[in-house]
Structure 1
Amino acid sequence: MKKFLFIPALLFLLMTGESMSAEKYETATFAGGCFWCMEPPFEKLNGVKDVIAGYTGGKVENPTYEDVSAGFTGHYEAVQITFDPSVISYKELLEVFWRNIDPVDRGGQFADKGTQYRTAVFYHSPEQRDAAEISKRALANSGKFKQPIATNILPAVKFYRAEEYHQDYYKKNANHYNRYKVGSGRAGFIEKTWGKEKPAVPKTDWRSFKKPSDDNLKQRLTPMQYKVTQHEGTERAFTGDTWDNKQDGIYVDVVSGEPLFSSRDKYDSGTGWPSFTKPLMRDNVVTRVDKSLFQARTEVRSKHGDSHLGHVFEDGPAPTGMRYCMNSASMRFIPKEDLEKEGYGEFLKLFEE
């Protein structure tokens, strides 16, 4: 498609900001007994990109399931989680972890006994260590359990991916998995201990989104995301992580998760910012007059998150003639293959041939 070059010199020179890192994901590692049962609680969460079952904490390299089951390797059965901290925080992951284990059992978990079934939080940074210790103390002081919390908090070491038949076992062998979870005592324990309480991290619904406090946003967002969405900042041209993204998928507000734009309406405007001919959901995009840069422009904001997204201009291609010039920092891209998992399955029809 023809590129539309429109960068007023003054506007370009005044654009300042930090470069957005392409690497936005973080890692969390938890041992909670049988890893079959620890994958589902995390895979269902918004903001979680991947959950892998594996082994960690021991000295034996490249252990097999048989090695770990024998109990001499020192390894724990564990899950390693790749997550987007702008969507779900490490603290929220910890809450999900505690609600899916028996934290006072020193000998294993439920029907599974042995060192490989012990519980542990493996931290990947000082910040994760501090969050885990605070979370553990809060659980101990909650009065939920009469015995001391036995879960270890340990530095992360090399993680070994388990054999393929263990990955997503709850999907591949659903009947056996469900019988095992009930028969081991885990399901009953979770229901008895937490069943009447609200889940720690419910599925996000942008339609009922309530904007969190400024302090919360500072913690959740990167400095550039916070600057752009909350203080009408602008990232430098050609620095955002989606300006030249050509994958199929949708773009949602990084704060609220509300759907904003589709890759089907994205085009290369030549400006260095992600540009679209129209919104995906017009009701989620609101405009207002912006006179901050020596001229009147039309600012674009999200309805539910009230995030600054960018500006819209009347120099775009047909059929709309509009150029929605957005900041990558204001949006999170969800590939079409992740739409169902992340709660946006209704938009899959956009990408059907």
Structure 2
Amino acid sequence: MQQNANGSGGKMREIYVAGGCFWGVEELMRSVPGVVSATAGYANGFSAAAPSYAEVCSGRTGFAETVRVVYDPARVSLAALVFLFFRAIDPTDANGQGNDRGTQYRPGIYFTDEESAAVVRGVAEVERRRSEVFGVEVLPLRNFFPAEEGHQRYLERHPGGYCHIRPGLFAEARSLRVDPGRYERPSDAELSRMLAPEVFSVTQEGETDIPWMHPYAEEMRRGIYVDAVTGEPLFSSAAKYASSCGWPAFSETLDPQVVVFREDRSYGMRRTEVRSRAGDSHLGHVFSGDRESPSGVRFCVNGSALRFVPYGEMAEAGYGDLMDLV
């Protein structure tokens, strides 16, 4: 299944996201190409009247510091914005983010129509699979009031101001290349029907290919490697190198946002697992200090989790906009 990232009708759409202090969330969303405006404010409180910042900070109003995001669906999908939001927060922390504590800093996503609700719930379900605890509200918007002028574009006016979001994420938002809205994860029932047994065992059950047994370990043609489950582009042949590990090895991802990392303590080891963003497929692990890697980083990936698209077939397969990265 695929979702059209272009939306419909050419109209601007909106979504409301709460992720701790709204200064950083507003700046992050405003960094995304295709976002028309981002407004800091207060949402889903008890009162029908606009609260003050001091009242919200008391924790007694029910309002959460929230950002209203207006975006052009012809340029960026709602799924891309929601996945980016999850990269900026700790979804296990229901009572704040970073140093900000209290219900006014709770994480949440608030929608105003059923089409948006379906996308938000779909992304939230993928993210829920990655967390043992999930503390993010996913609810209809009840009310929203813009914050005082002093809170609008705060980090633009105060570049050294407090922000709980890691600095590198702003650059990633500005350089978004792969829109996850095009690569929706099928249902579990669909996956069990559509995937070959070896692909299912690796991507859904975390199994590992036998080293040197998959042809992609020695595949060096020009092209891209996509998630075998969703088709989301993950790696370019430009980053693939000959490795003695026995699995396909890459020095970097095609776009920093297409993978997520999780701590893996299985088999008595402490490793960093790599999973695909939109499909939540188990891909493999990432290691640092690899002398064979041009970057010192080795993404050690199971060939069964990937599908190779040769350069000459990329345009026809829908990846023509990424040919400059190969």
Task: Compare CA radii of gyration and give the structure with the larger one.
Answer: 1
TM-score, structure 1 as length reference? 0.45
